[in-house]
Amino acid sequence: MLLYDGFDINENGHLTVGGYDTLALAEEFGTPLYVMNEDKIRENCRSFLESFGRYNGGMGKVTYASKALNCKAMCRIAAEEGLCLDVVSGGELYTALQAGFPSERIYFHGNNKTPDEIRYALESEIGCFIVDNLEELKLLQSDAAELGKTAVISLRVKPGVDAHTHDFIRTGQIDSKFGFALETGEALDAAKKAALYPNVLLKGLHCHIGSQIFETDPFVLAAERMATLMAEVHQETGITIEELNLGGGFGIKYIETDRPLPPEYYMELIADAIGHVCTHYNLPLPHLVVEPGRAIVGNAGITLYTIGNIKEIPGIRTYVSVDGGMGDNPRYALYKSDYTAVVANKASQPADETVTIAGKCCESGDLIQENTKIQQAEPGDILAVFSTGAYNYSMASNYNRIPRPALVMVKEGKPYLAVRRESYEDLVRNDL
Ligand code: LLP
């Protein structure tokens, strides 16, 4: 069967995570349950730091995109590993600060930051605002002036690179709600405006070209275009851009055929691309920032469910229903995302049954995966779904008033509770 790094099968034929029996986890903490292998998360952090961190003799930074999984435990891990943090809402910022994340290492993203969020982030003295639009720029200037502060900013740019098509140069990318367009001159104009604001310090340029990307070409093309924009900004405003942020998007393995590339592979190609442009324009090399989210936490997580009823529709398909579903993992319902699952208590048996894994929500589209191969399942078995560490907990909802699962971290062979399971009382907490 397909085994992922950090997972194993023990002498009882049970799947283990970070060396701990998943059956014991299900017993101890209940299901559905998010389980994260903390050792694996740290390994992922280090592999990014060891590659991108080395860029140009240590001029690289790794920013964890916390939208992939934001809770206090995860913010603490990112802080301890020396990563910066990307937050995209007041709530993510609040969680990070509550976890004691150093505010100067926080980047604040978002295409529609509210005035309250901007004020909160300024007062918290975060490291950098990734400015999306001119309204935000104006607001930052006036708020920063009022508070007697300087807002350090990067500009969010649409580089016209769409990683999800093979037509990388599609101008259709102008049609995105994020940032300033490069090809229309909008980005350069924004830089000129920023240069005139006394309480705004233009430090960087930022782009993000997509998610779950395996190709390198779109990153290289984005790096070239952004470095060229750096040169134009320098020419037009005299400002030397110190930091080039190329966003996240590094793909991970969900199914057997996925072939993720090691971070150093991207780093070298990107470094070359930036180097060429900077030499051409006689510019100093900028610091390089990347913002992986999925690639830090995705493959470190699994979800454990208890299998309930199994419905065989002869000649059609077999539904294996679990005690969670789109509430804890909406990604198949939203994107038809690939997943691999295993019956955790029969992990050493052959996966030769083709089934559809269904959730318990009152909705036909509440599926985790269709026509996937797992071991012969029976009610009461524990099902593990791999690679659910990113965009599962963070995208969970209470649809059908189903409480959200607990999240357990396994560290050095021992589990600890990182997020408590929601109770029915939690569900009515704000009801009046
Ligand atoms: N930086 C920016 C500005 C982003 O918008 C994102 C993701 C990232 C970094 C991190 O991207 P990653 O390394 O995780 O691919 N909910 C979707 C993914 C949405 C990604 C949004 N932005 C999913 O479940 O696949």
pLDDT at 122: 98
Pocket test for ligand 1, best of 64, 67, 164, 246 (most atoms within 8 A of CB): 67
Q: What angle do CA 256, 257, 259 make, to 5 degrees?
A: 105
Residue 143: pLDDT over 70? yes
pLDDT at 170: 47
Confidence label for 294 from pLDDT (cuts 50, 70 and 90): very high
Residue 299: pLDDT over 70? yes
pLDDT at 2: 53
Cβ neighbors of 7 (< 8 A, separation 6 or more) are 15, 16, 17, 37, 302, 386
Structure tokens, 29:
């903490």
In sign, the C-alpha dihedral spanning 98, 20, 358, 257 is positive
pLDDT at 6: 84
Neighbours of 145 (CB within 10 A): 15
189-198: pLDDT as tens digits: 999 999 999 9
Which backbone phi and psi does 126 adopt, to 5 degrees?
-70, 165
What separation in Å is there between the alpha carbon of 380 and the centre of ligand 1?
Answer: 35
- Alpha-carbon 339 to chain mean position: 17
pLDDT at 174: 78
Residue written as token pair 């002036």: 145
Pocket test for ligand 1, best of 48, 52, 211, 326 (most atoms within 8 A of CB): 211
User: Can you tell me whether residue 29 is helix, strand or coil?
Assistant: helix
Residue 166: pLDDT over 50? no
Q: Is 278 a catalytic residue?
A: no
Residue nearest atom 6 of ligand 1, based on CA coordinates: 248
> Which ligand 1 atom lies nearest to the CA of residue 213?
15
What separation in Å is there between the alpha carbon of 33 and the centre of ligand 1?
Answer: 23
pLDDT at 158: 95
Q: Is 335 annotated as a binding residue?
A: yes
Across 146-152, average pLDDT? 97
E strands, 33-144, where? Answer: 33-37, 60-65, 84-87, 106-108, 128-131
Residue nearest atom 24 of ligand 1, based on CA coordinates: 391
* Helix (H), strand (E), coil (C) string for 107-131: EECCCCCCHHHHHHHHHCCCCEEEE
404-415: pLDDT as tens digits: 999 999 999 999
In sign, the C-alpha dihedral spanning 130, 180, 231, 250 is positive
Across 97-111, average pLDDT? 98
State in Å, rounded, how far the first CA of the chain is from the last one.
50
pLDDT at 165: 54
DSSP state of 250: B
Pocket of ligand 1 (CB under 6 A): 65, 67-68, 86, 109, 208, 211, 247-250, 291-295, 331, 390-391
Q: Is 160 annotated as a binding residue?
A: no
Q: Which residue has the higher pLDDT, 163 or 20?
A: 20
2-22: pLDDT as tens digits: 567 889 999 999 999 999 999
Confidence label for 339 from pLDDT (cuts 50, 70 and 90): very high
- pLDDT cut 70: percent of the chain above it: 97
> Which ligand 1 atom lies nearest to the CA of residue 211?
15
Q: How far apart are CA 76 and CA 100, in angstroms?
A: 7
Structure tokens, 209:
């070209």
Q: Is 332 annotated as a binding residue?
A: no
Cβ neighbors of 25 (< 8 A, separation 6 or more) are 17, 33, 35, 304, 408, 410, 415
User: Can you tell me whether residue 347 is helix, strand or coil?
Assistant: coil
Residue nearest atom 17 of ligand 1, based on CA coordinates: 391
> Which ligand 1 atom lies nearest to the CA of residue 68?
14
What separation in Å is there between the alpha carbon of 82 and the centre of ligand 1?
Answer: 20
Secondary element (H or E) of residue 242: none
Contact (Cβ atoms closer than 8 angstroms) between residue 288 and residue 271 = yes
pLDDT at 4: 78
203-253: pLDDT as tens digits: 999 999 999 999 999 999 999 999 999 999 999 999 999 999 999 999 999
Average pLDDT, the chain: 95
Q: Is 80 annotated as a binding residue?
A: no
Across 164-188, average pLDDT? 76
Instruction: List the catalytic residue out of 75, 207, 278, 362.
Output: 362
Contact (Cβ atoms closer than 8 angstroms) between residue 58 and residue 340 = no
Q: Which residue has the higher pLDDT, 176 or 183?
A: 183
> Which ligand 1 atom lies nearest to the CA of residue 156?
3
Residue 295: pLDDT over 70? yes
32-84: pLDDT as tens digits: 999 999 999 999 999 999 999 999 999 999 999 999 999 999 999 999 999 99
Structure tokens, 417:
């509770």
In DSSP terms, which residues pair with 289 in a beta bridge? 61, 245
Residue nearest atom 9 of ligand 1, based on CA coordinates: 248
What separation in Å is there between the alpha carbon of 68 and the centre of ligand 1?
Answer: 7
What separation in Å is there between the alpha carbon of 390 and the centre of ligand 1?
Answer: 9
Please state which of the ranges 255-259, 366-370, 411-415 shows the lowest mean pLDDT: 255-259
Residue nearest atom 19 of ligand 1, based on CA coordinates: 211
What separation in Å is there between the alpha carbon of 348 and the centre of ligand 1?
Answer: 34
Across 144-159, average pLDDT? 97
pLDDT at 169: 45
Pocket test for ligand 1, best of 61, 254, 294 (most atoms within 8 A of CB): 294
What separation in Å is there between the alpha carbon of 193 and the centre of ligand 1?
Answer: 28
